[in-house]
A and B are shown apart, each in its own frame.
Chain A
């Protein structure tokens, strides 16, 4: 059973609009969450993170929101740009030392010019 879910395999958005990518998790012990962005045939690159003591973290055009009670987080990209077209992975980890990240299946974002 997947512990980290990204239920939308793909998303298309017009350039300049907001992109909202969603992630749900089942393990209440997850305490730290990251978003990675991946272009085809390349390795993922870190985008933004959030820990469970916060409900929002912002970095430029990227904002991550965390709703612990719903076990849900979302990544907002405003405004969306064609270069944002990529696969976005959500990852989660517990709070203990040495725990590994669990990745979701990814959402492919296409930003249309």
Chain B
């Protein structure tokens, strides 16, 4: 079954700690995305990658970092510089970049601060 796998489902971060959220897709999609969802807010774009070894900042990239060394994988690191990391994080992908290419989402990771 093709899809997007995010792990872990729940993650706890201590003060000053970096944590990494995993995202793997086997849909052979070129583009991958990281969104953050906070209560009462829409999905806000953190980072995206249109092709391997390339990525761009989204609207709220501060305190986050990513890598795209393989087409299938797009891990997100939440650094200690992100002062309000508690949120639901969603990874998404899409095959191409034409406007009618819809996004496919993973099941999300809930990050909380201890």
Interface residues, chain A, with chain B CB atoms under 8 Å away = 2, 4, 9, 31-32, 34, 36, 41-46, 49, 51, 89, 91, 93-106
CB-based A-B contact count at 8 angstroms: 66
Q: Which residues of B contact A95 (CB under 8 A)?
A: 99
Q: Taking A42-B108, A43-B4 as contacts, is the C-beta distance between A101 and B41 under 8 angstroms?
A: no
Interface residues, chain B, with chain A CB atoms under 8 Å away = 4, 6, 9, 33, 35, 40-45, 48, 50, 58, 88, 90, 92, 97-100, 102-108, 110
Q: Taking A4-B42, A9-B40, A106-B42 as contacts, is the C-beta distance between A98 and B97 under 8 angstroms?
A: yes
Q: How far is the CA of A60 from the CA of B107 in the complex (A)?
A: 25
Q: Which residues of B contact A105 (CB under 8 A)?
A: 40-42
- CB pair A44–B90 under 8 Å, yes or no, is yes
